[in-house]
Amino acid sequence: MTKVNLIENPYELKDIKGLGPKRLQILNEMNIWSIQDLILHLPTRYENNALIDLNEAENEAIVTVQGEVYSSPTVAFFGRNKSKLTVHVMINGIAVKVVYFNQPYLKKNIQLHQTVIIKGKWLKHKQEINGTKMMFDLTQHEDAQFTPIYRVKEGLKQKPLKEMIQKTLNDVTIHEWLPIELRQKYKLETLKETLYALHHARDKQSLMKARRTFAFTEFFMFELRMQWLNRLEKTSDQAVEVTYDINEVKRFINELPFELTEGQKSSVNEIFRDLKAPIRMHRLLQGDVGSGKTVVAAICMYALKTANYQSALMVPTEILAEQHAESLAQLFGDKMNVALLTGSVKGKKRQLLLEQLAQGEIDCIIGTHALIQEDVMFHNIGLVITDEQHRFGVEQRQKLREKGALSNVLFMTATPIPRTLAISVFGEMDVSSIKHLPQGRKPIETHWVKHDAYEQVLNQLNDEVKKGRQAYVISPLIESSEHLDDVQNVLALYDRLKVQLPDVRIGILHGKMTSDEKDHVMHQFSSHAIDVLVATTVVEVGVNVPNATFMVIYDADRFGLSTLHQLRGRVGRSDYQSYCVLIASPKTETGIERMQIMTQTTDGFELSERDLEMRGPGDFFGVKQSGLPDFLVGNIVEDYRMLEVARDEAAELIQSGAFFTEVYAKLRHFIEDNMLQQSFD
Measured CA to CA, the distance from residue 385 to residue 294 in angstroms comes to: 10
Q: What's the confidence (pLDDT) of residue 669?
A: 80
- Whether residue 626 is predicted with pLDDT greater than 70 in this model: the reply is no
Q: What's the confidence (pLDDT) of residue 517?
A: 87
* Average model confidence (pLDDT) across the chain: 84
Measured CA to CA, the distance from residue 469 to residue 51 in angstroms comes to: 60
Which long-range contacts does 638-645 make (Cβ < 8 Å, 24+ apart)? 639/215, 639/219, 640/420, 640/421, 640/424, 640/612, 642/212, 642/215, 642/216, 642/219, 643/219, 643/223, 643/421, 643/424, 643/425, 644/420, 644/424, 645/186, 645/216
> Count of residues for the chain?
681
Q: Which of 298-302, 329-333, 628-632 has the lowest mean pLDDT?
A: 628-632
Average pLDDT over residues 333-357: 93
Highest mean pLDDT among 392-396, 414-418, 476-480, 655-659: 655-659
Alpha carbon of 587 to those of 450, 486, 488, 557: distances in Å?
Answer: 12, 12, 16, 9
Average pLDDT over residues 383-412: 67
* 45-72 tens-digit pLDDT: 888 778 889 998 999 888 999 999 999 9
- Whether residue 581 is predicted with pLDDT greater than 70 in this model: the reply is yes
The pLDDT confidence band at residue 414, using thresholds 50, 70 and 90, is confident
Note whether 280-434 and 445-601 share their fold.
Answer: yes
Higher pLDDT pick, 587 / 467: 467
- Residue 533, SS3 per DSSP: strand
Cα atoms found within 13 Å of the Cα of residue 286, Cβ hemisphere only = 16
The pLDDT confidence band at residue 384, using thresholds 50, 70 and 90, is confident
For the chain, percent of residues with pLDDT exceeding 70: 85
Q: What's the confidence (pLDDT) of residue 676?
A: 44
The pLDDT confidence band at residue 85, using thresholds 50, 70 and 90, is very high
**What ranges do the domains of the chain cover?**
50-143, 280-434, 445-601
- Whether residue 187 is predicted with pLDDT greater than 90 in this model: the reply is yes
pTM, rounded to two decimals: 0.62
- Whether residue 551 is predicted with pLDDT greater than 80 in this model: the reply is yes
DSSP state of 147: E
The pLDDT confidence band at residue 618, using thresholds 50, 70 and 90, is very low
Q: CATH topology for 445-601? A: Rossmann fold (3.40.50)
What distance, in Å, lies between the first and last C-alpha atoms of the chain? 8
Choices 3.40.50.720, 3.30.930.10, 3.40.50.300, 3.40.1160.10: CATH for 280-434: 3.40.50.300
Average pLDDT over residues 139-148: 69
Q: CATH topology for 50-143? A: OB fold (Dihydrolipoamide Acetyltransferase, E2P) (2.40.50)
Q: Which of 350-359, 416-425, 564-573 has the lowest mean pLDDT?
A: 416-425
Higher pLDDT pick, 405 / 434: 434
- Whether residue 481 is predicted with pLDDT greater than 50 in this model: the reply is no
- Whether residue 625 is predicted with pLDDT greater than 50 in this model: the reply is no
Q: What's the confidence (pLDDT) of residue 541?
A: 60
**Alpha helices (H) in 336-418, listed in sequence order:** 347-358, 394-401
No. of H helices and E strands in the chain? 23, 21
Average pLDDT over residues 662-678: 72
Q: What's the confidence (pLDDT) of residue 142?
A: 59
